[in-house]
Amino acid sequence: METFIKIIKEHINYKNQIMKLAKADLVKTYRGAALGWAWAIIKPAVTIFVYWFAFSVGLRMGKDVNDYPYFLWLIAGVVPWFYMSEMITAGTDCIRKYSYLVTKMKFPVSTIPTFVNISKFIIHLILIFLVIVIFRLFGYTPDIYLLQLPFYILLTFIFFNIWGLFSAPLAVISKDYSNLVKSFITAIFWLSGIMWNPSTIKNATLKKILKINPVTYLVTGFRNCFINKVWFWESPKTLACFIIITVVMAVLAIRIYKKLKKEIPDVL
Amino acid sequence: MPKTVIEFKNVTKIYKLYKNDKQRFKAIFFKKTPYKPKNAVNNVSFKINKGESVALFGKNGAGKSTILKMITEVTYPTSGEIIIDGRVSALLELTSGFDPEFTGRENIYLKGQLLGINTDEIKKLEQTIIDFAQIEEYIDQPVRTYSSGMKARLGFSINVNVEPEILIVDEALSVGDEEFRRKCIKKINELIEKGVTLLYVTHATKTAQDFCKRGMVMQTGNLIFDGDIEEAMQVYTDTIKE
């Protein structure tokens, strides 16, 4: 608890620096290339095209979902995933990447995952906005269910911020850990019901496992806003499950941070 | 009575050396994981008052850098207490601490902001910093393209111009040509006159004499001498001979 208050205090004291560093991180990612900022959109666009092509044209799998074209169903889930996958890897590597903040000056380590997260989050918001625009172009006007979008966006942000705080210190201590996370990213992608509809799974045990998978929960949540037209309070059990997982991870993150805080500068 | 700005109370720093990274990872979960303790700093106590300039001597591995890192609050003591009062500006490893993807100018802002200086203040300091560093048109190039001398000059320039209250210099003056060195020495003397507290860490005893009246000598983690600079130099020279 004490550590938790300390982390919050560090965030408040360094809020200006956090914003500046988030901006710097963003600028750094997209600068230096001739197309610059356009890459923030081109890269996901290419990926989406490949998925759509492989599933719709190649495997002939892409059926309409809830009267929405497969393409729209795809982007409603894949776009949030882009942010999640970025955060799973970048969140893990962030302290290593910004080691100069740890070893060369006085800077609170706990805020590093936060500013990296904010930087990725801004791109995420832009892409989500584009998804809404694309839905509109296809003739689907936003309806009342879209009002819960900020709720899911906020959940995702909080979840992955905690993830960063949990994962980054471990990755500093052990390279194996960071390799482990990176090698699981594809597995998480294919197993979490991002490319296929988790509600069509017949096996009951598998269904249960998917229900507690936080990635599945969030991706389905985004689709609930855009396509399934389900309110978040209509599935209280899975929401409770997600919150429990988040809280457990937060407790672990704080414990790990407390334990490793003094060791991180000595290892980097 | 002068104000104490740096105080070490029985400070000990032990590095835990594990056989490999796997063992270190294991240690997060199991307390019993074996490691070799390395005493980098051993029960060190001292006080430095405002406006003092102190030289810190010691061979490689004597614990100088660890002490500096603890003063800058980059690393933490294993036991003991450290009290720091004032804005610390440290010239540790001058060539690092920059973001290589950013230009020199952006790095000035970033570093200033990280030190907690607001943007208006940095704007005022910007030209002074650039002029002092003598990097002219390179200032708008990414730092990764800089030579090590340029990086060092920029680093030095930022750190002495942000109006520090405590200045820590670690062998920094060995970079750059004779002219730049003289400029640095002049600047540091100016700061000392303004009442800045200086901690100067070096192997070279000669330059230390230029600014410091008090000397401390470290040997394998212990503070073996603290007092007049002349005597400190003598003690240090003796330790080398041993």
CATH number at residue B67: 3.40.50.300
- Report pLDDT for B171: 67
Specify which of A14-18, A237-241, B18-22, B211-215 reaches the highest per-range mean pLDDT.
A237-241
The answer to whether the Cα torsion of B206, B208, B214, B220 is positive or negative is negative
- Give CA–CA dist A207/A43, Å, rounded: 32
Residues of B within 8 A of A28 (CB-CB) are: 99, 101-102
The residues with which B12 forms a beta bridge, in sequence order, are B79
Q: Do B28 and A265 touch (CB under 8 A)?
A: no
pLDDT-derived band at A91, boundaries 50, 70, 90 = confident
- pTM score: 0.81
Q: Which of A92, A56, A97, A89 is nearest to A73 (CA)?
A: A56
**Mean pLDDT value across residues B56-62:** 77
Q: Do B22 and A177 touch (CB under 8 A)?
A: no
Q: Above pLDDT 70, what percent of chain B?
A: 91
Residues of B within 8 A of A107 (CB-CB) are: 114
- Report pLDDT for A248: 93
Q: Which residue has the higher pLDDT, A242 or A141?
A: A242
- Give CA–CA dist B200/B120, Å, rounded: 30
pLDDT exceeds 60 at position B115: yes
Q: Is B119 on the interface with A (CB under 8 A)?
A: no
Residues of A within 8 A of B97 (CB-CB) are: 100, 104-105
pLDDT-derived band at B189, boundaries 50, 70, 90 = confident
Domain count, chain B: 1
Q: Is B191 on the interface with A (CB under 8 A)?
A: no
- Report pLDDT for A247: 92
**Partner-chain residue, chosen from B15, B28, B75, that has the shortest CB–CB distance to A173:** B28
* Helices within chain A (DSSP H only): 2-13, 15-30, 39-52, 70-97, 99-103, 111-137, 149-173, 175-191, 204-212, 214-223, 236-260, 264-267
Residues of B within 8 A of A103 (CB-CB) are: 74
> ipTM score of the complex?
0.72
A21-40 pLDDT, tens digit per residue, is 888 888 877 776 666 778 87
pLDDT exceeds 60 at position B94: no
Who's near A116: CB < 8 A, 6+ residues apart? A22, A25, A90, A91, A94, A97, A98, A164
Residues of A within 8 A of B114 (CB-CB) are: 17, 101, 105, 107
Tokens representing A158? 């909080």
* Rg, C-alpha atoms of chain A: 19
CB of A192 closer than 8 Å to CB of A219? yes
pLDDT exceeds 80 at position B101: no
- Give CA–CA dist B140/B110, Å, rounded: 14
Residue A235 distance to chain B (closest CA, Å): 36
pLDDT exceeds 60 at position B105: yes
Specify which of A90-94, A193-197, A208-212 reaches the highest per-range mean pLDDT.
A90-94
Least confident of A10-19, A128-137, A241-250: A10-19
B22-49 pLDDT, tens digit per residue, is 777 777 777 777 777 777 778 888 888 8
- Report pLDDT for B139: 82
The answer to whether the Cα torsion of B12, B18, B23, B25 is positive or negative is positive
Furthest-apart CA pair in chain A: how many Å? 57
**Mean pLDDT value across residues A163-185:** 86
pLDDT exceeds 90 at position B199: no
**Mean pLDDT value across residues A177-190:** 86
**Partner-chain residue, chosen from B21, B97, B113, that has the shortest CB–CB distance to A20:** B113
- Report pLDDT for B92: 62
CB of A110 closer than 8 Å to CB of A18? no
pLDDT exceeds 80 at position B172: no
**Partner-chain residue, chosen from A32, A106, A260, that has the shortest CB–CB distance to B74:** A106
Query: What element of type H or E holds B8?
Result: strand B4-17
CB of B211 closer than 8 Å to CB of B200? yes
Task: Look up the domain containing B162 and give its range.
Answer: 4-241
pLDDT-derived band at A159, boundaries 50, 70, 90 = very high
Average pLDDT, chain B: 77
Q: Do A260 and B28 touch (CB under 8 A)?
A: yes
Cα distances (Å, whole numbers) of residue B107 to B61, B76, B104, B186? 31, 26, 5, 25
**Partner-chain residue, chosen from B74, B92, B96, that has the shortest CB–CB distance to A265:** B74
pLDDT exceeds 60 at position B188: yes
Q: Do B114 and A265 touch (CB under 8 A)?
A: no
**Partner-chain residue, chosen from A107, A256, A265, that has the shortest CB–CB distance to B114:** A107
**Partner-chain residue, chosen from B24, B88, B97, that has the shortest CB–CB distance to A173:** B24
Residues of A within 8 A of B15 (CB-CB) are: 266
Q: Is B122 on the interface with A (CB under 8 A)?
A: no
Residues of B within 8 A of A30 (CB-CB) are: none
**Mean pLDDT value across residues B154-158:** 81
Helices A149-173, A214-223: crossing angle, 10 deg rounding = 150
Residues of A within 8 A of B30 (CB-CB) are: none
- Report pLDDT for A189: 86
Q: Which of B6, B13, B5, B9 is nearest to B62 (CA)?
A: B13
- Report pLDDT for B174: 62
- Report pLDDT for B91: 64
Average pLDDT, chain A: 84
pLDDT-derived band at B96, boundaries 50, 70, 90 = low
- Give CA–CA dist B27/B156, Å, rounded: 39
CB of A211 closer than 8 Å to CB of A241? yes
Residue B86 distance to chain A (closest CA, Å): 13
- Report pLDDT for A191: 83
A196-222 pLDDT, tens digit per residue, is 777 777 787 888 887 788 888 888 888
Q: Which residue has the higher pLDDT, B117 or A90?
A: A90
